[in-house]
Amino acid sequence: MQGEVGFCEWHPWSGRSEIPGRNLPGVYFIARSKKKPDNFRVNNDFIIYIGETTGQTLADRLRQF
């Protein structure tokens, strides 16, 4: 694999249309919290869903929720 793999900053659900790279495929975490989670670890108690866009963009996938 080439390039750097990582996550963008956390965004509130209301700001999902402003996420950088939303027109690309990828892996995403959805968290439920009153404040930004402080990490991207899969065992973070705030993370309620981990998904992957399959044949669609992140924006398309988030519209399905």
SS3 of residue 31 by DSSP: strand
Confidence (pLDDT) at 15: 94
Helical (H) or strand (E) element with 62 = helix 58-62
Q: What is the pLDDT of residue 31?
A: 93
Domain assignment of residue 28, given as a range: 13-62
Q: In terms of DSSP H, where are the helices of 1-65?
A: 58-62
Q: What is the pLDDT of residues 3-41, one digit of tens each?
A: 666 788 899 999 999 999 999 998 999 999 998 888 878
Is 40 contained in some domain? Answer: yes
Specify the pLDDT at position 58: 95
Q: How many domains does the chain have?
A: 1
pTM for this entry: 0.79
Q: How far apart are the first and last CA of the chain?
A: 30
Two structure tokens written together for 32: 């439920």
* DSSP letter assigned to residue 52: E
What is the residue whose two structure tokens read 């790279």? 21
Amino acid symbol at 51: G
Question: Is the residue at 37 inside a domain?
Answer: yes
